[in-house]
Structure formats: C-alpha cells, structure tokens
Structure 1
Amino acid sequence: MQSAQRRNRIGLYTALTLLSIVSSAGITVIYSMLSVLYRHFPDASAIGWVVTIYWLVSAIAAALCGRLGDLMGRRKITLWVLGLCMAGALIAALAASLEWMIVGCAIQGLASALTPLAFGILRENLDAKSIPFAVGLLSAVGMISAGVIYLSAGVVIDHYSWQGGFWFKLILALAAMLAVYLAVHHSEPKAGQRVSLFSGLLFAPGLAALLVVVQKGAAWGWDAYTWGLLAAGVGVLLVWGRQQWQQPAPLIDLRLLANRQVIRANLCMVCIGMGCVQIGQVMSLYLQQPGGTLGSFGLSATGAGLSMLCINLFSLIGGPLSGRIAARRGARSAAIIGLSIASAAWAAMLFLHATLAATLACAVLSTIGFAFAHPAVYNLIIEATPAERTSETTGVTYVFFACAFALGAQMIFTLLASDHAPPMANALSLPSDLAYMRVFGYVLVMTLAGLAVAFTLPKRPAKEQVELALAE
C-alpha cells in the first residue's frame, strides 16, 4: 500500500515538474532566438510583438484558465492548455511569415496558465503539510529550468535551425501531457456553479490595453493615442470590476481577493516583479558590458548564460527551504527572510559591483532571496484561499506578477538609458556605471518596499487563515 502511494506521489511530482518546465520554456525559448528572428525576418520593428503578444496572452490566460480549472476540473483544463501550447509551437515552427510566427507565440502564451493549475493540482492531491514544500520546489524548478532551457534551445538553434527551439517546446509539452494524463487523478467539475463567462471576460481587453501601453508606450511616444488607450483600458477594468463585484457567481471573485492577506501578498508580488526578479536582464547586460567601461567584464553571451545558470542553481536552496519554513512558521516568515536576503544583496551590489567575484556573489544572494520570497507569496495566497479557488487566486497573482515584470523592465531600460559611458572606438554607446548604480538602487528600493509590506502581513497561523477564508 505504501509502495503504491509512493509511486503515485513520484508520478505526481514528475507531472508537476514537467508543467513547471513547460511554463518556463514558454518565453525562455522565444528570448533565446530573438537575435535570429531579427536576421530572418526583414520587419525588425514588428519583432517586438513576438514578445509583447506572448505576455498579453499569458497574463489573461493565467487568470482565465486558473478559474476554469477550478470550475471544470484542473486536469482537464491542463491537458487542453498543453494541447494548445503544442499547436502554438507547431504553428511557429512552420511559420513562413512573421504574422504566423506572432500567432503561434500568442497561443504559446497559454503556458503561463500551467502555474496556477499546477498549484491547484498539488493542493488537490497533497496533504496540507506537504503543500508549502511542493510550491517551493516547483518555483525552484522553474528558475533552474529557465537557465537550462535557454542554453539547450541555444544549442538547438545554433546547430540545427531556429525552428528547432519550437520543436523543442513541442516535445516538452507532449511529455508533460503524457505525465499529467497518467499521474494526475481526474477532478470533478464543481456542481451548481454557473458563471457569466462573457461579462467575466471583459477584463481581457482592459488588461491587454494596459500591457500594450506599458510595453510599447516609450516606443510610440506619449501622445493622445497612447493616453487614450491607457484611459480605455482603465475604464474597461473599472466597469468589469463593478460588474464582477455585484455578481453572485463571478468569473473572478473580487471579494475573495479583498482578503487582507491576499491583498498584501499581491502587493509583495508586485514589488518582487518590479524589483529583484529583474536580476536576469540586469546581470545579462552587466556581465556582457564590453571592456573599456567600469566593471568591463566583457563576458560572451554563452559565458553570461552559463553564469546565470550556475547562479540559478542556488534556487534549489531557497525554494524548498522556503516551503519548509512556511509549513512550520507560516509563509509570512519565509517572505520576510527572502526579501531581507534580497535587499542585502542589492545593497551590497551598489558598492561591490566593480569586481566579477563580488558581483556574482551578490547575484547568488539575490537569487536565494528571490527563491525564498517568490514561493512564499504563493503560499500566502494558498493559506488564505479555499482549496476550490486555488487556481483562480494564484492565477490572478500571476497577472499582477506579469504586469509588474513588464513595468519593471521598462523602468530598468529607462534608467540604463539615463547616462552613458564615453563612446568606444566603434562609437558604441553603453550605459555608464552611474546608470547601473541607479538600476541597482531602484531594485533595492522595490525590494525594501516588498519587505515593508511583508512585515504588515497577519501573523495568524496558516490553519487559522484558511478557516477565515472559508468563513468569508
């Protein structure tokens, strides 16, 4: 009996791990081939839509598919999402034009929904004591797999073809589909829950308008059209929010999201998304800063990628340990520890970034801190949410994360463009040390803001928090 239970648990963890890998592969493979796409397709200005459309669909899909999983069965919706991800990868791999490439990448954006669906599946199948550790483990797997996939996709693209990256994603999604089909038990749809799907979907165009403005506002210029699009997005979301609040059975239950712990946990996630999670793009740029400027590490793209992969391996320390602390002392403690470590890392980066060893050490500390804090926020949401609404609320948290990440990335690029080093012999203009110090300072401020929010979280034990959510 115990042997059968152990095999079932191993199968479940294998399926959830593959879901985390597919979710990470979604945007990672696209990032790895951007330089190739610029060479392959003549319309360079439109290449950015490959990334933009992915983030638009991912933010919408996480909330929508998470809720549908709660209503119709998470295993069923997960299999549908994986099938659509495979279709999107196939369309992109066979694309003869940039337009079809964008369509394929848009469909692949559904992969983001696998994260909240995985959280719902693990809560259905694991006991309460095992859930925080499993959340921490999945978060760590996502971070590490992103680095591995970046390098693996690069090898495939360099030695075979740029379409190979999409074939690689298709194979990963197929493996995950088989694992979910074999290892995850069928979950029954929730009886008696009829929601207005059409009115609930109003959030999609509103959110899309806001994300397009964040992603493209600087390039378009802040003219009447951009401000109008922003105002329209905000207006649609306000109408949608009022309508959902008044619905007896809304698609997205804003009353549940109004729980004090849920609100503050989502604020923490916004600070993380705008702050310490930006380490990937900051370090990638800083480590490859050519010689002749301060720091002047001049690593190749491969060298920087290997460095980031090694740094991400340390998430195996932070993620599972965060889960263990959350199980014993509550997710609030894990969030505070993680954000404290990350804050110390970025404070040190301000003063120690002139040497490669010190820079990498600070990056390792930041990664451990993020690996602590990121799953802690999801565990905070799970603590305060009824089990049958897990995918819905964690899906909305992913929406906050995606929006904050996009906004934080724009802030990083704005700060990097604020000051330039003296032109080099080839007239290449690069960010100065002052520009990088502004970036480090900005990330530090956002991380400290997240820490401040974490200290205001309720100190109630996880069990009491769940009972409160059920009562509400």
Structure 2
Amino acid sequence: MEQAPPPQRTAAATGSDADGESVRQDRSTAQNCAIVALLVLLVEITGLTYTMVTPALSEIAAAYRSPDISWIVTAVTLVGAIAFAVCGKLGDIYGKKAIALVCTAVFAVGTALCATAPVLPLLIAGRALQGFGLAVLSLAYGLVRDVLPKRLIPIALGFIGTGMGASAIIGPVISGLLVEPFTFRGIFWFQFGYAIVVGLLVWRFVPESGLRARAGVDWIGASLLGFGALAFLFGVGTIKSAGWLSVPVLGGIGAGVLLIAGWFRYERRAADPLVRIDLLAQRRVGLPLLANACVQFALVGNSMLVPMFVMSAPEGGFGFGATALEVAGFLAASGVSAMVAGPVSGLISRRFGPRAGMTFGASALVTGAALIAFVHDTATAVLLAQLVFGIGIGSASAALPNVLVHAVPADVQGVSGGMLNLVGSFGSSIGSQVLIVLLLLPGAHYTETGFVLAFLATAACGAIALTSALLVGPLRDRE
C-alpha cells in the first residue's frame, strides 16, 4: 500500500525560513536559559498531574465514600493519550506555543472543577480536562527544537527530562504538605495557581515556533480509538459492581473491541494516521511498544497502590497508617532511583546495545514488584522494593526510545516516537482500571490479598516487558 507523503513544513507568517532559523534570533545566554526554565516549569504540569494526586487517593475515596477511584487516574491518561497525538499535530499546524497555552488553559479549567467538585463524577470530568496538560510535553520538546540555538537543544531536552523526573520526588512532598491542612482540594488549587502563573510567563517570554506543517488531523481515527478505549475500560471497570456476564460489562467490552477493530481498519488507509499499522506489525517495533505499555501499566499501578497500601490502618493486618507527607518518602525512593537509573541505562545501552538496557530495566521492575507483593511487613521492606522498582522504571523508560531509534529508519522515527507515547498512555489507562478490579476482587473493601494480586499484576507486566526485550531480535547498527 502506498504510504502518504510526510507533512510539509513551511515558514510561518512571521517570516522564518524553511528551516526555522530566523526564529532562532540572537538572544543572550540569560534569555535562552529563561526560555528553557519556563518550558521546564510548564512541562511539570504533566508530572504533577499524577505525583501530587496519587498520595491523596485514599482521602479522595473516603471523601466521596467510594473505594473505586480508578477513573481518577484513567480519565487523565485516556484523554491525555488522544490529546498527546492530536494536539501535537495541531501544534505543527497552528503553532506549538499557542496550542500549549490552550492545553494549559483547559488543564486549569479542569483543575478548578476538581477543586470544587461536590460529587465524584464531576471530579472525574475535571481530571479528564486535566488530561490535556499531558500534551504540553510533546509541544515543549517541539518548541525547544524550533526556537533555541542548535547547540543548546540537547542541553535543554536533558533539563526537561530531568524536570519530569524531579516531579516524582517534589510532587508527593507538596501533596503531603497541602493535604493535612487543606484536604485534597488544596492540591488542585495549588495546581490551578501553578498553571495560571506559569502559563502567563510562557505567553509573555517564550517565542512562538516559526515552523508550520501542511498536514491534516486524523479526527476520525482519534474518535474511534478514544471511544473504543473508553467503552472497553468502562466494561472492565464495572466488572466488580455488575458481574462478569452483565450487560454493562459485555456491552462495554464488546463495543470497545468493535470500535478499536474499526480503528485498525481505518488507520490502514488514512492519509495521515495516528499510528502506522505497517510499523506496528513489525516485531522490532511492535514488541517495544508492547513493552512500553506494560512498563506504564506497572508505573501507574505502583503510584496508585503504594500510597493506598502504606496509608492503610495496621489494625486491618497490613499497612502502616502513614500520613500523606510520609507517603512522599516511599514514592521518593522509587523517584530517586529512577532518576539515577536512567543515565546508567544509557551507559549500558551505549556499551551493549539498547536491548540490554531494556532487559536490565524489565528485570529490575519484575524484582521490585514481586518483592513488595510478597515482603511488605515493614516499612524498610517496602522502601527496598521501591528502590529496586524505581531502577526498573528508570532503566526501561530510558532504554525503550533508544530501542525504537535502532529499530526503524530515520524517516519514521518521529512517527514511532509518537506511537510509543500513545501506546504507553493506553497502558496506563488499562492499568488503573484493571488494578482496582483486582484490588477489590476479594471483597467490597481493600484487603491484603487484593494488594498482593495487584502488585503481582505489575510484576507480570514487567515479565511481559522482559520477554519482549528478549524476543525483539537484532536492531539496526547494533548487535
């Protein structure tokens, strides 16, 4: 089948040349550093959306008197997956800064809704709007490449990556400090103020990209995939309350499968598809994408389960009765080890190939998840498991993009990178639903058995990622 031509990049009305060099006007080092700093702060929206909220999940569940709070995470990742793909394309067409600010504004509206929501469905709707904030990451990367001097681009991208890792440490601490005096609503008011202030600074001081792409947006593909995933996850999420053979479960899962099958069929002939199905079918591409979905499944699972576990009252036979601030210590353990493991994984990939880094990361992920599933009687044991788990997440997350770089030709690396993020977001969405079902499987309330099942599910995902690494086969220019 003939492939659609790549989108054409043109100069914007601002008069930049075809390579966008005129927008890289002469600026002082201080001005360029300020641009990088503001983009790093803007991208923090993505990380804080998760890391500030997960320590408060138990309080949110208690406030709304519902143990099934999976959609608080699922709504963000599901909307974020579609927004990541669609808003990235809109940024190419209309300007990356403009679309990033629109996404920030939608995020702020959703955050205000979360802060004031009187009922759980409205909170979930607000979280869905927050999902647009996830698209800021890809738009910020594009701005860095378009407006900064070429010599500074690698440094700036490194700072953005480090900032994302730092949110895993800073977010839980801020959350713990706010929850005690202001309840969980204080978290969302902080995020609202943060988005407004940083958004205004970006609007004032960060230049717009001068590049534009003549390309369409795959609205039909995005709709089929989004509604298909929503229907499927709705079916999975109602298993506990409605029963395996109920109409909502079978109808939701069935409708989801049909819509996603229709999406596959449509993407094969779409002029500008969200996902290149021909690439997806290749083992060197499909297996790393599967591994990334599993890694993100495990990551979101750990960030949900650990706070809920350690905050559980020990009178129930498990947990430590930790406060929201004490939860930050457990999550920071995995965050710190993940930040350290990323560069280590890069060294392993450079020396032995990216598949070795992916294998190392997946192995550590399995070990850390299995440790916490079977040995969780003391805070020390849980902290050790978190350190090992963080090594796995950091190593695998750093290696997977390199695997794809070595798996595909240069002209489709941008497409494959977008597919990696899209599939990873859906892995997170599925994880948040499946793990809550497992958590509540033994009864109407959280039990130790439920936590063991859920942690074992994250270990199983690590095992699938490890198997994918072993089966991916030889990569281009390596091994």
* TM-score, scaled relative to structure 2: 0.77
1:168–1:395 Cα change, 3 Å: farther
User: In structure 2, the residue corresponding to 1:345 is in which secondary structure?
Assistant: helix
- Counterpart of 1:372 in structure 2 is 395
Task: Give the counterpart letter for 1:214 in structure 2.
Answer: V
Following superposition, the deviation at residue 416 of structure 1 comes to 4.4
1:249–1:59 Cα change, 3 Å: closer
Aligned residues: CA RMSD: 4.1
State the distance in 2 between where 1:156 and 1:374 align: 30
Q: Is the 8 A contact 1:63 1:395 kept in 2?
A: yes
Q: 1:361 aligns with which of 363, 375, 384?
A: 384
| Structure 2 stretches lacking a partner, 5+ long | 1-23
Task: Give the counterpart letter for 1:158 in structure 2.
Answer: E
Q: 1:446 aligns with which of 461, 464, 470?
A: 461
Q: 2:336 aligns with which of 295, 313, 317?
A: 313
Q: Is the 8 A contact 2:52 2:174 kept in 1?
A: no
User: Given the alignment of the two structures, is residue 106 of structure 1 paired with residue 121 of structure 2, yes or no?
Assistant: no
Which digits, 9 at most, give the CA deviation of each residue in 1:154-204, with x for residues without a partner?
A: 43343346543223112322344356443465141113x345534653322
Q: Is the 8 A contact 1:135 1:378 kept in 2?
A: no
1:291–1:241 Cα change, 3 Å: closer
1:287–1:103 Cα change, 3 Å: closer
Q: Is the 8 A contact 1:290 1:297 kept in 2?
A: yes
Q: 2:270 aligns with which of 247, 251, 267?
A: 247
User: Given the alignment of the two structures, is residue 66 of structure 1 paired with residue 88 of structure 2, yes or no?
Assistant: yes
User: Given the alignment of the two structures, is residue 164 of structure 1 paired with residue 186 of structure 2, yes or no?
Assistant: yes
State the distance in 2 between where 1:336 and 1:126 align: 36
Q: 1:212 aligns with which of 209, 234, 246?
A: 234
1:290–1:242 Cα change, 3 Å: same
Following superposition, the deviation at residue 436 of structure 1 comes to 5.0
Pairs within 5 Å for 1:136-147:
138=160, 141-147=163-169
- Counterpart of 2:195 in structure 1 is 173
1:140–1:371 Cα change, 3 Å: farther
* TM-score, scaled relative to structure 1: 0.78
| Count of aligned residue pairs for this structure pair | 452
Task: Give the counterpart letter for 1:451 in structure 2.
Answer: L
- Counterpart of 2:303 in structure 1 is 280
Following superposition, the deviation at residue 449 of structure 1 comes to 1.9
Q: Is the 8 A contact 2:346 2:398 kept in 1?
A: yes
State the distance in 2 between where 1:268 and 1:384 align: 14
Which of 266-275 and 438-447 deviates more? 438-447
Q: Is the 8 A contact 2:88 2:135 kept in 1?
A: yes
Following superposition, the deviation at residue 342 of structure 1 comes to 2.4
Which of 301-310 and 96-105 deviates more? 96-105
Task: Give the counterpart letter for 2:400 in structure 1.
Answer: V
Which digits, 9 at most, give the CA deviation of each residue in 1:214-242, with x for residues without a partner?
A: 33333333312321222222212222222
Following superposition, the deviation at residue 366 of structure 1 comes to 1.1
User: Given the alignment of the two structures, is residue 404 of structure 1 paired with residue 419 of structure 2, yes or no?
Assistant: no
User: Given the alignment of the two structures, is residue 456 of structure 1 paired with residue 478 of structure 2, yes or no?
Assistant: no
Which of 438-447 and 359-368 deviates more? 438-447
State the distance in 2 between where 1:145 and 1:130 align: 21
Q: Is the 8 A contact 1:66 1:391 kept in 2?
A: no
| Structure 1 stretches lacking a partner, 5+ long | 421-427, 466-472
State the distance in 1 between where 2:101 and 2:414 align: 15
State the distance in 2 between where 1:106 and 1:20 align: 18
Q: 2:107 aligns with which of 61, 74, 85?
A: 85
Following superposition, the deviation at residue 310 of structure 1 comes to 3.9
- Counterpart of 2:257 in structure 1 is 234
User: In structure 2, the residue corresponding to 1:219 is in which secondary structure?
Assistant: helix
User: In structure 2, the residue corresponding to 1:275 is in which secondary structure?
Assistant: helix
Task: Give the counterpart letter for 1:83 in structure 2.
Answer: A
- Counterpart of 1:431 in structure 2 is 447
1:8–1:262 Cα change, 3 Å: farther
User: In structure 2, the residue corresponding to 1:114 is in which secondary structure?
Assistant: helix
- Counterpart of 1:424 in structure 2 is none
User: In structure 2, the residue corresponding to 1:248 is in which secondary structure?
Assistant: coil
State the distance in 1 between where 2:294 and 2:371 align: 19
Q: Is the 8 A contact 2:73 2:432 kept in 1?
A: no
State the distance in 2 between where 1:250 and 1:190 align: 15
Task: Give the counterpart letter for 1:145 in structure 2.
Answer: S
User: Given the alignment of the two structures, is residue 339 of structure 1 paired with residue 354 of structure 2, yes or no?
Assistant: no
User: In structure 1, the residue corresponding to 2:211 is in which secondary structure?
Assistant: coil
State the distance in 1 between where 2:393 and 2:357 align: 11
Q: Is the 8 A contact 1:350 1:440 kept in 2?
A: yes
State the distance in 2 between where 1:71 and 1:373 align: 33
State the distance in 1 between where 2:414 and 2:140 align: 8
- Amino-acid identity (%): 24
1:160–1:373 Cα change, 3 Å: same
State the distance in 1 between where 2:183 and 2:446 align: 31
State the distance in 1 between where 2:417 and 2:379 align: 37
